[in-house]
Chains A and B, each alone.
Chain A
Amino acid sequence: MNDESAATSGCKHCGLPSPMGEFCCPGCAAAYEVILGIGLGEFYHRRSSPLSRPLVLSTKDPFASPQAEQRFVRSAGQGMSSVEFFLEGVTCSACAWLVERIPTADSRIFRADLDFGRASVRVVYDKASSLSQIAQVFRSLGFRPRPGDDPELSRLRRDDRRLWVLRTAVAFACLMASMHVAVSLYAGIFEGISPKIVREMGLALGVVVAPVVFWSAIPFHLGAWRSLRSKSLSLDLLVSLSIAVGYVASLRNAWLGLNETYFDAVAMLVAFLLAGRLITRFAEEKVRIGGEFLARELAGEVLGVRPGDVLVVPSGDTFLGDGFVREGRSSMNAAWLTGEEEPVEISVGDRVWAGAVNLRESVTIELESVGRDTRMGKILSLLSGVGKGPLQKLSRRMESIIVGSTFLVVAAVALWGLFHGGIDANRMVATLLVACPCAVGLAVPAVLGVAHRQAAGRRILLKGVDAFERLAQVDIVVFDKTGTLTRPIPVLREAAWQSGVQRGEWEKVLGALCRASAHLALRPLRELFPHCEPDLAIVEQAGLGLETLWKGQKLRLGRREWALDHPILLPEEWTEVVFSCDDREIASFSMESKLRPEAPAVVQALGKNRETWILSGDKPGPVEVVAKACGIAPERALSRQSPEDKLRLVQQLAQRGKVLFIGDGINDAAALKAAQIGIGVQGGAAAALSSCDVYLAHDDLSLIVQLLEASRKVRTQIMFGLGWSVLWNLLGVTLVLTGFLGPIVCAVLMPLSSVAVVGYALTRRPFPKEIS
């Protein structure tokens, strides 16, 4: 096969940058060999975009247990089984081609039907093969099969989706049929038609539209029933009533042989509303699948691994939980967590994170947390928080007001008619149709849906639907310093050894000590001391340092006062790390936190018309330097701030305005929670992540500027959508009451209003096209 195209664009298999040679990792090399070996090398001609890095094999195979077989495999008859995987790594048409060609290359697999949109594949295979073997076929090609939905749940969701499609399709089919009949009827009326035929055609229309009213519209009727039971006014109540009144009035007119029937209008109302809800459901399902797909990165829940498990993780495999390396050296790609594609070196004692990929060599890890307790789990849990913001509540209130007002208007029309020559059913039906507040109900979710999708595309995760609204109201911006305005990992500035100290004697101990903690200030020391003294019992004192006993001596590595057993006065960042033996200084290491290059511009952009503050636990000097570089007034750059101090100040500032707190550390968690809105910066501590409302999964502070600008636009767009909907309804009702609009025109105008609102939302771009 001609593989030049692959070779010239990086890794021969995945096409991603490959600094190590032809392949970026052993997983890609293996996948490349397998694809050529089974005669599907054409894949590399078809491929149009880079793939994700593959897996070779998994030590802890999610599909290897009997429980997995029982849960995910179903009989497909005739000695065959079927299973559905979510398939990660399907990025383009060529991937789809490769997946569906697997049956030609592997006799155990009979069918592989890919659903590109849902990134799932249904596999029918020989019953004699195990689920694990089938999953391995996909892994060997470079894809990552994840357990799909539980088959029963999957079936229920599929059936529900199909039912909605069928309801909508029937509504549209009946709508078209009714329009055929209606056009003939209208033509007949103008051309001349006998009253008998008018009556028959009218009743025929009633028959044609009956499936729409009595079957397709069931979701609206059920919604109306729920609304009545909960004694609330909902959109479904008005829709259901409009359908019922329209249909009954039309039947009455048809029976009496009158020309005025609205069967086609009723069918149109139901068909358009169903189509709108179907689109919304598809969009929601995509979001759900996306979330579940990410959640499966955690895998721990599915695999049954537990904290304390020791796993061998081969090159190319994903870490199944947070933990640390017990044996081996390798590098990992933790881009999902850190935003950095650059491989991170790991060796004994280093921490690894769920979802990160082991790149180079096999390592043995011990798990400390799995599933939702991992850092990734905590980040993903942000996605599940759902609340209702003020604008959503306003939308609901407006919906109720419009529904209530419509009922009042209809009642007034009926009463007026009662005393002035008979009830005008046409006008009542027209009022019900034109006042349907569908657009009000769509305005907020449509705009927020687009904004959330665009935010997620920029790796900005927002907890709850009201985050945009709260962001738009911010008056005061408070920054943490270390890890937020400066880089989280400091740079070693100076290593000062006491005179007469034999360095070689201590280096291995230091190597072991600095690997026993996840503290970022110790990272530069790991590179300085690559070798470890084995079997040291090390105790970490939170916020102070590490301690061990070695040859009867008490060794400490950490803050100066603590290491030298002096009284500890004030909390501060670890800009200096001291190594001591029996309270005697052996060496000290000075660290420097480097300012993020984009920080000054971001602070200045956020400071326009807003107050900006820095709150840091660090010493005054570094804080002043950062404040000066970012243009923050010295009186608003507070150093030596404990978590309690930060919380207190945020609470004080909150009395003057809406506070946005941007931080990353555990010491920021309380302030993040207390602020009007908290933004957690990529790479931050898990406690901080769980406290924040927004998480930046990309290492770029300028996203905050984009986010605030987008939130302002979102607010404007929502208000515009709501205003438009109300105006439309008011105008429509006025025209109906003054006799300018009849029910049929109203039936056309009502869905047009919804289409206009959704169209408006879809064409807006709250975020700029390019990330700066």
Chain B
Amino acid sequence: MSVFGILLAGGVFLFLVFLGILVWAIRNGQMDDLQTPAERAIWDDKPDPGNSDDRT
């Protein structure tokens, strides 16, 4: 197998990994709201314990 084949296989593998991450992110609602996270970023206080994952 030529080096090109190895690179191609590696590229396809990485592509699938990132595609998987993308699908996971979208399914978890990461792309649902693009405005509120930007608002949260400017709240200069500690994260809200009520909204932490351990409560769900």
Contact = CB atoms under 8 A, between A and B. Distances in A.
Interface of A: 76, 78, 80, 93, 96-97, 100-104, 109-118, 124, 158, 161-162, 165-166, 169-170, 173, 177, 197, 200-201, 204, 207-208
A165 B31 contact: yes
Given A93-B39, A162-B26, A201-B4, A115 B32 contact: yes
27 contacts: A76-B56, A93-B43, A96-B36, A96-B39, A97-B39, A100-B40, A102-B50, A103-B50, A103-B55, A104-B49, A109-B50, A110-B56, A111-B51, A112-B51, A113-B51, A117-B35, A118-B33, A124-B56, A162-B27, A162-B32, A169-B22, A173-B19, A177-B11, A200-B2, A200-B5, A201-B4, A207-B12
A166 B56 CA distance: 26
B4 to A, nearest CB: 6
Interface of B: 2, 4-5, 8, 11-12, 15, 18-19, 22-23, 26-27, 31-36, 39-40, 42-43, 48-51, 55-56
Given A197-B4, A200-B8, 6 more contacts: A93-B39, A103-B50, A103-B55, A111-B55, A112-B51, A173-B18
Contacts of A173: 15, 18-19, 22
Contact of B31 (A101, A162, A197): A162
Nearest to A201: B4
A200 B4 contact: yes
A151 B26 CA distance: 19
Contacts of B42: 93
Contacts of A200: 2, 4-5, 8
B2 to A, nearest CB: 8
A117 B22 contact: no
B13 to A, nearest CB: 12
A114 B36 contact: yes
A interface SS class: helix
Contacts of A165: 26, 31
A96 B43 CA distance: 10
Given A93-B42, A103-B50, A116-B39, A80 B56 contact: yes
A81 to B, nearest CB: 12
A113 B51 CA distance: 8
Given A100-B48, A101-B48, A118-B33, A166 B39 contact: no
Contacts of B19: 170, 173
Contacts of B26: 162, 165-166, 169
A166 B4 contact: no
Given A97-B43, A111-B55, A161 B50 contact: no
A116 to B, nearest CB: 4
B36 A117 contact: yes
A110 B52 CA distance: 9
Given A166-B26, A177-B15, A161 B56 contact: no
Contacts of B51: 100, 103, 111-113
A165 B51 CA distance: 26
Contacts of B50: 101-104, 109-112
A158 to B, nearest CB: 7
Nearest to B43: A97
